[in-house]
């Protein structure tokens, strides 16, 4: 299988995935957002700039249709403004094969002004290690209904609340 990982390259996850015989493509999606939209001006307003979004997609989701059997999106989608978020989800749908799974995390607290971002490492088949990177403002807060709407083109959406106040979402194409 081919897996897309938005956490960036780390040995623990690469080793875990490749030990099962799968291929992994890793990129730090949040870092790419910062590089493309974090310059002059407002981070979220910059996400509407066609030149910047074009560069962002060339750096992150420039894959052939149905290239991946799974995607580890982690918490990256929380920091995209609504129009860009819809386009990213549509591109994820396009690059995933039918039946592919996508894992995403969303902060569960609805009144939070800044939330921690994490670096995710798959330690073993039971453990995902989260290391706090920094805090940032979310573009929007997602409840279950908003997540169902966001992933409406996918076949199924399942939610789980973790002990770390994260909503774990597993989506099937």
Percentage of residues in the chain with pLDDT exceeding 70?
100
Is pLDDT at 131 greater than 80 in this prediction? yes
Q: Is the pTM of this model over 0.95?
A: no
Measured CA distances, 121 to 41, 49, 58, 135, 146 (Å) = 32, 32, 25, 18, 27
Is pLDDT at 55 greater than 90 in this prediction? yes
Predicted confidence at residue 163, as pLDDT, reads: 77
Percentage of residues in the chain with pLDDT exceeding 90?
74
Between 111 and 77, name the one with better pLDDT: 77
Predicted confidence at residue 119, as pLDDT, reads: 87
Predicted confidence at residue 93, as pLDDT, reads: 98
Predicted confidence at residue 79, as pLDDT, reads: 94
Is pLDDT at 164 greater than 80 in this prediction? no
Predicted confidence at residue 162, as pLDDT, reads: 80
Indicate the average pLDDT of the chain: 93
Residues contacting 93, CB < 8 A, separation 6+: 153, 154, 173
The 10s digit of each residue's pLDDT in 69-105 is 999 999 999 999 999 999 999 999 999 999 999 999 9
CATH for 19:
3.40.50
> What's the number of domains the chain is made of?
1
Structural domain of 149: 2-172
Predicted confidence at residue 165, as pLDDT, reads: 79
Measured CA distances, 26 to 4, 17, 35, 70, 137 (Å) = 6, 11, 17, 12, 24
């Amino acid at each position: 299988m081919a897996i897309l990982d938005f956490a960036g390259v780390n040995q623990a996850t690469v080793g875990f995935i490749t030990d099962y015989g799968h291929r992994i493509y890793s990129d730090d999606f949040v870092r790419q957002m910062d590089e493309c939209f974090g310059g002059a001006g407002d981070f979220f307003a910059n996400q509407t700039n066609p030149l910047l979004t074009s560069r962002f997609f060339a750096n992150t989701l420039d894959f052939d249709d149905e290239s991946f059997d799974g995607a580890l999106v982690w918490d990256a989608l929380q920091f995209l403004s609504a129009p860009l978020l819809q386009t990213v989800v549509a591109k994820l749908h396009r690059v995933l094969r039918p039946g592919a799974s996508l894992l995403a995390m969303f902060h569960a607290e609805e009144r939070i002004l800044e939330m921690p971002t994490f670096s995710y490492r798959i330690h073993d088949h039971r453990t995902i290690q989260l290391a706090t990177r920094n805090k940032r403002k979310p573009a929007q807060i997602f409840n279950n209904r908003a997540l169902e709407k966001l992933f409406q083109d996918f076949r199924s959406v399942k939610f789980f609340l973790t002990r770390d106040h994260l909503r774990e979402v597993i989506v099937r194409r």
